[in-house]
Chain A
Amino acid sequence: MNKMEITVKLEKDNSKKKVSFKGKTVKELLSQLSLNSEVVLVTRNNEILTEEEILKPKDKIEILSVVSGG
C-alpha cells in the first residue's frame, strides 16, 4: 500500500508532526496513532470529519481532545 505524508496537530500537547500514513481513512489514521475515536474529534481546515472520511496527501489534520484537562 502507498504511503502518504500528512501533517497532524494534536491539541492535547499542542504538538505538530508529519505522519507517514499507510491507510486511507480517519479511522485508520487514529488506529495508526493508537488513539481511541471516543476521545478525539478530527478536523481538516476547521471542518469536522467522520471516521469514514478519506484523507488525501498533504492534508493538515487537527486532532482535538474530548477529555477536559481539569
Chain B
Amino acid sequence: MRCSQCQNKSIIELQHGSVCQHHFLSYYEEKVFKTLKKYQMIAPEDKICVACSGGKDSQTVLHLTKKYLQEQRLNNEIFALAIDEGIKSYRSKTLKDLKLFCKQEKVKLIVVSSKEEFGYTLDQAIKRIKKKGLTNKPCHLCGVWRRYLINKYARKNKATKLITGHNLDDEAQAVVMNIFKDNASFSAHLGPISGIKEHAQFVQRVKPLYFCTEKEDKLYSLIKNFPVSFIECPYAEEGYRAKVRDMLNQFESQYHGTKQGVINSFLHVLPLIKEKELNDNDKPLRSCSKCGEPANQEVCQACKIMEMLR
C-alpha cells in the first residue's frame, strides 16, 4: 500500500487515507499543535508541569509540548512530575524509562513518593485494606493518590498549567462509561480542558493528545524510538473500563471513526453538560478540612483513604 500523499510505502491507514512514516509524523504533530492552539492550552506566562508515568502517552506529550514551545518561540518553564506509588517491580521500571527520557529531553523531573506523603506504598496500603476485610480496589486508591499528589506538587512547584497524556481512546471510554453508568454529570469534568470550577489551589489540566488515538500515540513513540518498556501493572484488572475499551475497539475495526464520532458528539453537548452541572451544584469547590487541598466534600478522598488505613 502506498502513501496517499507521496506514493512512498505506507505504514498506517488513517481515516483520510494511507500515509508513509514522514507524512504520519507531520499529520500527528500538526494535530497536537492545532489542539494546543485551538484551546489556548498554553499562555505565555504559564509555568508548565507535565504529569508523566513514563509510558508512551506521557513521553509523547512531553516531547511535543517542548517542540511546540520551541516552534512558537515561547520561553515557558517546563518540568515533568511523576508519582512513585510504590508498586513493586512495576513503577521502578517505568520511572527508569522516564528518567532516561527526561535526560534526553533536558527536562527537569520531580518524583513524588506516596510512601513519603501518606506513610504507605500502594502495595502496603492494599495489604492493610485486605487485612481489614475492606473491598476497596487498588486502582481506586491509586487514582485518588495520583490526582491528589499531581495537583499538590504541580502547585507547590508553581505550575499554572498541568499537561496530561490523555488520548482520544481514554476520553471516549470515559464518556461511554459515564453514560452506561448513569453518571452523565461526571462528564462535565471531561473535555480538552478539564474541570468546571476554579479553585485557587487547583492547577488547570489540559490534554494536547485529546484528538490522537492510542494507536497513533504508540506509533509515534515507536518511530521516535522513545524509551518505553511494555510492562503490566500487577494490579491492572480487566474491569469495566477494559470491557468498554474492547467494545469501542471492536466497533472501530468494523466502523472506522467510531471513537472520533463519540468525541465529536460529546464536544457538541459538553457546554450544556457543564452549564447544567454548574446550575445543579452551584456551591464553590471547598478546601479539605484536614489537609487544605481542593475537595468536593468536607474531607477530600485522599484523607478519607488515610482514615480508612488507620
Report if A1 contacts B (CB, 8 A). Answer: no
Cβ of B1 and Cβ of A37 under 8 Å apart? no
The answer on a CB contact under 8 Å between A50 and B11 is yes
| Interface contact B230-A65, CB-CB below 8 Å | yes
Identify which of residues 9-62 in chain A touch chain B, using a CB-to-CB cut-off of 8 Å. Answer: 11-12, 14, 36-39, 41, 48-53
**Contact (Cβ within 8 A) B253 A37:** yes
* CB–CB B222/A64 < 8 A: yes
Q: Are A69 and B233 in contact (CB under 8 A)?
A: yes
Question: B interface, how many residues as a size bin?
Answer: 20 to 34
Q: Chain B 110-127, CB within 8 Å of chain A: the 1/0 string? A: 000000000000000000
Q: Are B249 and A48 in contact (CB under 8 A)?
A: no
Q: How far is the CB of A21 from chain B (nearest CB, A)?
A: 20
Contact B55 A70 (CB under 8 A): yes
**A70-B53, A70-B236 known; A50+B1 contact, CB < 8 A:** yes
Supposing A50-B10, A64-B218, A66-B218 touch, asked if A36 and B253 sit within 8 A by C-beta, the answer is yes
Q: Number of A residues contacting the other chain (C-beta, 8 Å)?
A: 21
CB distance from B209 to the nearest CB of A (A): 13
Once A36-B250, A68-B55, A70-B55 are accepted as A-B contacts, the answer to whether A48 and B232 lie under 8 Å apart by CB is no
Known contacts A50-B11, A51-B13; is-contact A68 B253 (Cβ 8 Å):
no
Contact code string B92-104 (vs A, CB < 8 Å = 1, else 0): 0010000000000
CA distance A32 to B207 in the complex (A): 37
When the two chains form their complex, are residues A67 and B245 in contact, meaning their CB atoms are under 8 A apart? Answer: yes
Inter-chain contact B249/A38, CB cutoff 8 Å: yes
- Tell me which of A36, A37, A50, A69 contacts B231 (CB under 8 A): A69
Q: Which residue of A lies closest to B142 (CB)?
A: A70
A30 to chain B, nearest CB (A): 10
* Whole-angstrom CA separation of A41 from B231 in the bound complex: 16
Look across to chain A and name the residue whose beta carbon is closest to the beta carbon of B252.
A38
Contacts of B53 in A (CB 8 A): 70
Closest B-chain residue to A43, C-beta based?
B222
Inter-chain contact B250/A68, CB cutoff 8 Å: no
- Alpha-carbon distance A64/B229, docked complex (angstroms): 11
A66–B94 alpha-carbon span in the complex (Å): 16
Q: Are B57 and A66 in contact (CB under 8 A)?
A: no
Q: How far is the CB of A42 from chain B (nearest CB, A)?
A: 10
Q: Contacting A12 at CB < 8 Å: which of B10, B218, B230, B245?
A: B230
The answer on a CB contact under 8 Å between A50 and B253 is: no
Known A11-B230, A66-B214; 6 more pairs at CB < 8 Å: A36-B250, A50-B13, A69-B230, A69-B233, A69-B236, A70-B94
